[in-house]
Amino acid sequence: MQPNMKMLLAVCLLIFLASQNAHSKNTEAHLEPLVNKVEDKVIAWRRHFHQNPELSNREYKTAATIAKHLRSLGIEVQTNVAHTGVVGILKGGKPGKVVALRADMDALPVTERTDLPFASKKTTNYAGSKVGVMHACGHDTHVAILMGVAEVLSKVKNGLSGTVKFIFQPAEEGAPEGEEGGAELMVKQGVLKSPEVDAIFGLHISSRTPVGMIGYRPGGIMASVDNFRIKVKGKQAHGSAPWDGVDPIVVSSQIINSLQTIVSRQLKLTRQAAVVTIGSIHGGIRSNIIPEEVEMTGTIRALDSAMRKKIHNKLRQLTKGVAESMDATVEIDLPWSSSYPITYNSPQLVKKMLPTMQRQAGKDNVILIDAITGAEDFSFFAEKVPGFYFFLGGKPANLPADKASAHHTPDFFIDESGLKLGVSTLTSMTIDYLNQ
């Protein structure tokens, strides 16, 4: 290439970048009053959903509220997707790509302990017990934020080059036993088709990340999850004569100890983290009777697909080996109640959207975070199309992180002043992606 041609291309590139920057600034100036105007609504919606939580695959009233709002904006609405899901389709004024935005809707069987004026008082029967129902993971904020984004984007749809698909998803916390649900069922039913989605964005509020901050990570950001169940079968006997039977409680204890060696001794942990946890163990009804059977349940978390597969193989091998060595038998269900892949952020999509996030929150407030061993069924969407999932700060600025209540706990709390950043960031990411 001749020197003068290189110079010409360089000048053209500088002009293009300058025009893009000017376009972004003009867009931000136009969006800011719209985002400011919707903030109070977002907070009101969040409080309504928080006070009226619904469990997985039972989000009937939540879905009805969402659908009514989307229709009021002139957005095409589909209901009863994957049981209670709602999908809205907003077509821009010009042709282009399709971007999906996802929010999860379900609450948890947790009894709220906060003193909020809009705290949940709802109760239900869950797994045979009367329990409270609470948005103890912030899904109420996710729904409210996406409703706000839908309102803002509906006001500027003529300037959009493409289509926005709003996905309000049920059962992220897992479908009830015997039912399908969540992102996996939505994908199976074709939510990423008609029109075909080119990219998908999602966020999660974080009770331990300060308000005004955003945490992101290219590649794997959240672990895979595989729940399992192990039934250990022995031979019942009197507690005074254990030699007459095969004690499944002792066998189970040996299995639990052996399973802990998978991560500590058989995985290369300098590559990625992994977890094997036994969460429940049940067997026996009386102090002097050795039972016939013990049931254990647990969870496997992995951030590497090869390590995930190795854990599965080793769990089966060790469990059967220990049981056989002690004259017991086992039944293994793996996966059992839930199985999500690794939540993977497309590095190319992250790179493209990072300047947008930094523009919204400020460069110093957008931080690269370590991957976490929590899991998210957003992963099913990101398996099919490029995805970007990030964390939005919800911790009060003056509260030490170690004093902030964790997700899935009765004292879970979110500072609502952080919701506005969620609206502006998702809105700007959508516009920038489509108009690029």
Residue 371 maps to which CATH number?
Answer: 3.40.630.10
Q: What's the rounded mean pLDDT across residues 193-213?
A: 98
For residue 40, the SS3 value is: helix
Residues 212 and 181 in one domain: yes
Q: What's the rounded mean pLDDT across residues 140-148?
A: 98
Residues 333 and 215 in one domain: no
Handedness of CA 141, 372, 230, 240 (dihedral sign): negative
pLDDT tens by residue, 300-344: 999 999 999 999 999 999 999 999 999 999 999 999 988 999 999
Kindly state the helix (H) or strand (E) to which residue 307 belongs, with its residue range: helix 305-325
Phi and psi at residue 172, to the nearest 5°:
-65, -30
Least confident stretch, 9-18, 117-126, 280-289, 402-411: 9-18
Residue 206 is predicted with a pLDDT of 98
Q: What is the mean pLDDT of the chain?
A: 94
Residues 30 and 51 in one domain: yes
| 8 A C-beta contact, residue 120 and residue 134 | yes
pLDDT tens by residue, 224-240: 999 999 999 999 999 99
Q: Answer yes or no: is pLDDT of 369 > 70.
A: yes
Residue 47: band (very low, low, confident or very high) from pLDDT cuts 50, 70, 90 = very high
Q: Provide the number of structural domains found in the chain.
A: 2
Residue 16 is predicted with a pLDDT of 52
Residues 193 and 146 in one domain: yes
Percent of the chain with pLDDT over 90: 91
**Residue 352 is encoded by which pair of tokens?**
């493209």
Residue from 313, 342, 375, 346 nearest 433 by CA: 346
pLDDT tens by residue, 351-362: 999 999 999 999
d(CA 324, CA 347): 46
Chosen domain end from 321, 339, 357: 339
d(CA 47, CA 119): 8
Q: What's the rounded mean pLDDT across residues 115-134?
A: 95
pTM for the complete prediction? Answer: 0.91
- 67-103: string of b/e by CB count within 10 Å (b at 16+)? bebbeebebebbeebbbbbbbbbbbbeeebbbbbbbb
d(CA 139, CA 121): 17
Q: Which of 216, 340, 344, 389 is catalytic?
A: 340
Residue 264 is predicted with a pLDDT of 96
Kindly state the helix (H) or strand (E) to which residue 94 belongs, with its residue range: strand 94-104
Q: Answer yes or no: is pLDDT of 3 > 90.
A: no
Handedness of CA 49, 54, 55, 56 (dihedral sign): negative
Chosen domain end from 294, 322, 339: 339
Q: What's the rounded mean pLDDT across residues 388-411?
A: 96
How many CB atoms are closer than 10 A to CB 186?
A: 24
Residues 214 and 356 in one domain: yes
Residue 436 is predicted with a pLDDT of 84
- Catalytic, 324? Answer no
- Catalytic, 433? Answer no
Residues 318 and 355 in one domain: no
Residue 155 is predicted with a pLDDT of 97
Residues 35 and 132 in one domain: yes
Q: Answer yes or no: is pLDDT of 127 > 90.
A: no
- Structural domain containing residue 412: 25-223+342-435
Q: How far is C-alpha 211 from the geometric centre of its chain's CA atoms?
A: 19
User: Exposed/middle/buried for 326, CB within 10 Å: 0-12, 13-18, 19+?
Assistant: middle
Chosen domain end from 322, 339, 356: 339
Residues 208 and 234 in one domain: no
Residue from 296, 301, 354 nearest 330 by CA: 296
| 8 A C-beta contact, residue 376 and residue 345 | no
Residue 24: band (very low, low, confident or very high) from pLDDT cuts 50, 70, 90 = very low
Residues 82 and 199 in one domain: yes
More confident residue, 38 or 4: 38
Residues 219 and 229 in one domain: no
Q: Is residue 14 part of a domain?
A: no
